[in-house]
Amino acid sequence: MIEYRNHRVAILGGGSVGSQVAHLLISQGEELAARAGAGLEVVGIAVRNLDAKRDTDLPADLFTTDAEALILGADIVVELIGGIEPARTYILQALNSGADVITANKAVLATHGPELFEAAEQVGAQLYYEAAVGGAIPIIRPLRDSLAGDRVSRILGIVNGTTNFILDRMDTEGDSLEDALAEATRLGYAEADPTADVEGYDAAQKAAILASLAFHTTVPLGAVYREGMTSVTHEQVVAARKAGYVVKLLAICERVTDADGLEGVAARVHPALVPLGHPLAAVHGANNAVFVEAEAAGSLMFYGAGAGGIQTASAVLGDLVSAARRHVAGGPGVAESTHANLPVLPMSSVTTRYQITLTVLDEPGVLATIATMFSDRGVSVEGVSQSVRDGGDNERPTATLVIITHEASESALAATVEDLSSTSVVSAVVSVLRVEGL
Amino acid sequence: MIEYRNHRVAILGGGSVGSQVAHLLISQGEELAARAGAGLEVVGIAVRNLDAKRDTDLPADLFTTDAEALILGADIVVELIGGIEPARTYILQALNSGADVITANKAVLATHGPELFEAAEQVGAQLYYEAAVGGAIPIIRPLRDSLAGDRVSRILGIVNGTTNFILDRMDTEGDSLEDALAEATRLGYAEADPTADVEGYDAAQKAAILASLAFHTTVPLGAVYREGMTSVTHEQVVAARKAGYVVKLLAICERVTDADGLEGVAARVHPALVPLGHPLAAVHGANNAVFVEAEAAGSLMFYGAGAGGIQTASAVLGDLVSAARRHVAGGPGVAESTHANLPVLPMSSVTTRYQITLTVLDEPGVLATIATMFSDRGVSVEGVSQSVRDGGDNERPTATLVIITHEASESALAATVEDLSSTSVVSAVVSVLRVEGL
């Protein structure tokens, strides 16, 4: 058992989260020590430039540019730099020196997770990352510990606050995508370059992390199918609500069986229709929520604010107390488990439901023609709703057809849409959206 | 470090949860061992009567009536008997022999928690109880670990599935309380004697457990204010929805400051109005949800099915894997923290908002008279809505007045209602309901 003493905490990164973590460690030191069973002493904050202006009254002598020296003298290293390098190198240095590491860095976990977890296991250290997904929402620990005896079948997550804010504005305020994005930028929810959010890169990183953890399988970022939400139109959002759905950008991780009977896991990020009665439909603004379906536990949802500075700091502090408790108890950390090692299957293995909106000629026999096209491709139709004549001209009046399918494969659906596009009775394929949560 | 070997698991109680836990341990043994880093071997199931008919095909030689011998030969004891005795004695025996204990028993935790946690700490064992509140919803571990570095200010919980089912039926199906209760009984959600549920005893036990954990303070069951939901009428539920609320039976644990400036915590269970936009309002059927407000993390919600046999088994298995991992790592368990030791304050220290519905004479000056009665008692009115004449006779027509107050103390509100009841311009005080979640 190690000697009972203060635990030396090194913070890498002097931004908003790093400053708040340091502040809370200092101001609530006594209370945290009582909870952890040991003191947590900030021994330094590594920054790139000592002269940078900081919104903080932390003691100046805590700051250093020598990250490596700081790491070597620490029991616990908190990595809040973000990005791949030098974060990856610092985390490896810390783990190799036997320190526990706490990180909020989804990018490095999604791309170098296996290497980092392996390094931790080698020395019996622990890598904590509750802050990497969903800000302060406890989701990593519930998946890792609470559901450790259960079998997760699916995760549907709203894991990007910016895009949820935008889609929610489009739904509740009637904004266009452009206006909603401008408002998100004005309020500080969106960055100057919103690509990582709106194109789903951020959500895909989180999907890789969640899928790896939930299925005890290494799911590389490159295996996550990704489709952003920039093509979602105001009209689609309005039509979705009319049909009883809201449009959400979802990160979906699930067990799937492909056409050859191979069981595996798949992860994907794309806009999807969610039924209004589903708990995820009630997640408004920049909030996040992760909906988990497990064999025994049934459906669970974890909801809260996404990653703001203070929320991320809360998650980091929770990990710090866990790390300190573990040091008090002694013994090695729990290795990240990849024992299941399921095959990671491509998007083409995934089946889901679709809503297809068509403008069709309002003539006898058209519905039958279209229904045949679906059945020819093996796509089963669950329901059709048809508007009265709403377009075209007197000679060739048109109507809108909204079709919901049963579960179908990506490829069968794509072939059906191809057929629909080339038939004369369909004037336009207005939209094709996946439906989740039914 | 202890020797790496199978961990011997003793199960106390051969009911539905006990059988399912044993089944899952046997059927998923290999997967669980990989996750735990050690095997989990069921060494026996203690029952009262070996001849009782069981809905299970577990090996007959696992069953025994000698609970004490079973406990002495176990590394981990799973207590699923329920009630106070002999559960309390068995848990103490197990802890004193150095075994970790996993329990789903809210009654024994709410009444003898401090004694049990003390016994665990003495020998460095661990008492796990994720299954005691909210079935498979991970709530104990998030409060204990994830939020360990944050400060919880309030918990609003729907922690009793039976009463939520009943209130939801009354709201969505228009059932009377009696019809909804009959339906709950028919579906197996309510027991033959539903007193523990509908009178709030079950929720009060869970409130004591949650408050103790969240505030690092021993909150005895006797300090939890408790009011059941049997007085909630169909009319109240309808009026609530019209006014933008749903009626929920809430367990509320919060930091409060009493009239003398004393800071402490208070816990209470009672029916309350919840605004329709609040995430708790969307918790339907027999589901549970715990809404947590913390200083840094902001608002979080944990949602899922309440305590069914299989959900409880999922939570127990999660605790089993945690216990096994801890044994592999070695070192003592984390003691239950009561370091904050805040004063536990009575219901009279609590302030909340109220909705008061009155039938009043529809005459000039009545509103002014009533408003004066509120201000004389120091109760500030936030809003009033008045119906047009809806009762009485031509001589003395009446109208309905719905008043929402700002935060007021229990005593000031009671005095105001007393005044209202005795004035001639008020024909009837139709209902007084607390409003939470605003």
CB B305 within 8 A of CB B286: yes
Is A27 a residue whose pLDDT tops 60? yes
More confident residue, B350 or B389: B350
Q: Do B34 and A311 touch (CB under 8 A)?
A: no
Q: What's the CA dihedral at B132, B135, B141, B143 to 10 degrees?
A: -80
Q: Output the CATH code of domain B351-435.
A: 3.30.70.260
The predicted-structure confidence for A177-215, as pLDDT tens digits, reads as follows 999 999 999 998 888 899 999 999 999 999 999 999 999
pLDDT at A140 over 90: yes
Write down the residue that tokens 């006779």 correspond to: B393
The pLDDT, as a whole number, for residue A5 is 65
- pLDDT tens track for A371-380: 999 999 999 9
First to last CA, chain B: 51
Q: How many CA atoms lie within 13 A of B399 on its CB side?
A: 15
Q: Which residues of B touch A24 (CB under 8 A)?
A: 149, 296
Q: In this structure, are strands A100-103 and A127-128 parallel, antiparallel, or unpaired? A: parallel
Q: Quick one: pLDDT at residue B413?
A: 94
Q: Superfamily for A140-305? A: Dihydrodipicolinate Reductase; domain 2 (3.30.360.10)
Going by C-alpha positions, the residue among A416, A418, A149, A165 that lies closest to residue A286 is A165
From B244's Cα to the closest Cα of chain A, the distance in A is: 16
Which residues on chain A are in Cβ contact (under 8 Å) with B339? Answer: 31, 34-35
> CA dist A114 to A99, A209, A221, A334, B346, Å?
18, 11, 12, 14, 52
Query: Counting beta carbons within 10 angstroms of the beta carbon of residue B147, is it exposed (0 to 12), middle (13 to 18) or buried (19 or more)?
Result: buried
Average pLDDT estimate for A258-286? 92
Site from A141, A314, A327 to mutate, B interface, most B CB atoms within 10 angstroms = A314
Rounded to the nearest 5 degrees, what angle is found at the Cα of B274, between the Cα atoms of B273 and B277?
Answer: 145
B148 vs A1: CB contact, 8 Å cut-off? Answer: no
Q: What is the mean pLDDT of residues B393-406?
A: 88
The answer to whether B327 and A332 have CB atoms below 8 angstroms apart is: no
Amino acid A385: pLDDT: 86
Mean per-residue pLDDT, B62-78: 95
Which chain A positions have a beta carbon within 8 Å of B1's beta carbon?
Answer: 331
What are the tokens at B5? 């070997």
pLDDT surpassing 60 at residue B64? yes
At residue B2, the pLDDT reads 35
Q: What whole-number distance in Å separates Cα of residue A101 and Cα of residue A10?
A: 10
Alpha-carbon distances, residue B342 vs A26, A31, B256 (angstroms): 22, 13, 10
The C-alpha of B339 sits at a distance from chain A's nearest C-alpha, in angstroms, of 6
Whole-number percent of chain B with pLDDT over 70: 97
Query: With an 8 Å Cβ cutoff, are A317 and B150 in contact?
Result: yes
Residue from B2, B144, B150 to probe the interface with A (highest A Cβ count within 10 Å): B150
Chain A residues in contact with B322 (beta carbon < 8 A): 145, 148
pLDDT for the residue numbered A120: 93
Of B24, B321, B331, the CB nearest to A331: B331
> What span, in angstroms and rounded, lies between the C-alpha atoms of A24 and B295?
11
Facing B337 at nearest CB: one of A34, A330, A340: A34
* Under 8 Å between Cβ of A425 and A343: no
Confidence band, pLDDT 50/70/90 cuts, at residue A2: very low
Once rounded to an integer, what is the mean pLDDT over residues B241-245? 91
- Identify which has the larger pLDDT, B38 or A283: A283
CB contact under 8 A, B35 and A148: yes
Q: Which of A308-312, B242-246, B417-421 has the lowest mean pLDDT?
A: A308-312
Q: Which of B34, B35, B296 sits opposite A136 (nearest CB)?
A: B296
Could B138 and A136 be called an inter-chain contact, meaning their C-beta atoms sit closer than 8 Å? no
- pLDDT value for A34: 83
| Inter-chain CB proximity A298 and B311 less than 8 Å | yes
Question: Using the 8-state DSSP alphabet, how is residue A222 labeled?
Answer: G
**Banded pLDDT at B29 (limits 50, 70, 90):** confident
B3 pLDDT more than 50: no
Question: Which residue in chain B is spatially nearest to A303 when comparing CA positions?
Answer: B301
The structural architecture, per CATH, of the domain A350-435 is 2-Layer Sandwich (3.30)
Domain B140-304 has CATH 3.30.360.10: yes
> What does the pLDDT read at residue A31?
84
Give the DSSP H/E element, type plus range, for residue A359: strand A351-361
A142: nearest CB among B37, B141, B321: B141
Q: ipTM value of the model? A: 0.85
Q: Do A337 and B35 touch (CB under 8 A)?
A: yes
Q: With 50 as the cut, is the pLDDT of residue A248 above it?
A: yes
pLDDT one-digit tens code per residue, B186-227: 998 888 899 999 999 999 999 999 999 999 999 999 999 999
Which whole-number Å values give the CA distances from A91 to A12, A72, A334, in the listed order? Answer: 10, 11, 17
* Closest C-alpha to B351, from B282, B438, B292: B438
Run of H or E including A119: helix A106-123
Indicate the angle between helix axes A29-36 and A16-27, nearest 10 degrees.
Answer: 80
The distance of B314 to chain A (nearest Cα, Å) reads 5
- Token pair, residue A25, equals 């460690």
Residues of B whose CB is below 8 A from A141: 138, 141-142, 145-146
Query: CA B197, CA B199: separation in Å to the nearest integer?
Result: 6
Interior/surface letters B417-430, b for 16+ CB within 10 angstroms, e for the rest: bebbeeeebbeeeb
**How far apart, in Å, are the Cα atoms of B87 and each of A7, A299, B210?**
39, 30, 20
Q: What is the pLDDT of residue B391?
A: 78
- The pLDDT of residue A343: 86
| Mean pLDDT within A250-278 | 92
The CATH number given to A7-136+310-329 is: 3.40.50.720
Q: What is the mean pLDDT of chain A?
A: 91
Angle at CA of residue B362, ends B356 and B367, nearest 5° = 55
> Mind telling me how many Å the CA of B330 is from chain A's nearest CA?
6
Q: Which residues of B are known catalytic residues? A: 206
Residues of B in contact with A214 (CB under 8 A): none
CA distance A435 to A270: 11
Is residue A4 pLDDT above 60, yes or no? no
Which residues does residue B274 pair with via DSSP β-bridges, in sequence order? B246
Encode pLDDT of A296-314 as tens digits: 999 999 999 987 788 999 9
Q: Are the beta carbons of A331 and B279 separated by less than 8 Å?
A: no
pLDDT at B333: 66
- Among the partner-chain residues B321, B329, B330, the one whose CB lies closest to the CB of A149 is B321
* Strand-pair partners of A265: A255, A344
Our CA-based measurement puts residue B146 at a distance from the nearest CA of chain A, in whole angstroms, of 5
**Cross-chain residue pair B148–A35, CB shorter than 8 Å:** yes
Q: CB–CB of A298 and B325 under 8 A?
A: no
Q: 3-state secondary structure string, chain B?
A: CCCCCCEEEEEECCCHHHHHHHHHHHHCHHHHHHHHCCCEEEEEEECCCCCCCCCCCCCHHHEECCHHHHHHCCCEEEECCCCCCCHHHHHHHHHHCCCEEEECCHHHHHHHHHHHHHHHHHHCCCEECHHHCCCCCCCHHHHHHHCCCCCEEEEEEECCHHHHHHHHHHHHCCCCHHHHHHHHHHCCCCCCCCHHHHCCHHHHHHHHHHHHHHHCCCCCHHHEEECCCCCCCHHHHHHHHHCCEEEEEEEEEEEEECCCCCEEEEEEEEEEEEECCCHHHHCCCCEEEEEEEECCCEEEEEEEECCCHHHHHHHHHHHHHHHHHHHHHCCCCCCCCCCCCCCECCHHHCEEEEEEEEEEECCCCHHHHHHHHHHHCCCCEEEEEECCCCEECCCCEEEEEEEEECCEEHHHHHHHHHHHHCCCCEEEEEEEEEECCC
pTM over 0.80: yes
Task: List the single residue in A146, A321, A326 with the smallest CB-CB distance to B148.
Answer: A321
> 10 Å Cβ neighbour count for A255?
18
- Residue type (1 letter), B345: L
pLDDT for A55 equals 67
**In chain B, what residues touch A146 (CB-CB under 8 Å)?**
130, 136, 138, 141, 315, 318
- Calpha distance B228→B49 (Å, rounded): 35
Percentage of residues of chain A with pLDDT beyond 90: 69
pLDDT tens, A329-342? 766 666 676 677 78
Backbone angles phi, psi at A193, to 5 degrees: -105, 100
Q: In degrees rounded to 5, what are phi and psi of residue B48?
A: -80, -35
In this complex, the residue of A321, A331, A334 whose CB is nearest that of residue B149 is A321
Domain boundaries, chain A: 7-136+310-329, 140-305, 350-435
Mean pLDDT of A389-398: 81
- Is the C-alpha dihedral spanning A181, A138, A150, A106 positive or negative? positive
Give which of B213, B217, B196 is closest to B133, Cα–Cα: B213
Confidence of residue A3 (pLDDT cuts 50, 70, 90): very low
Inter-chain residue contact B329 with A331, CB threshold 8 Å: yes
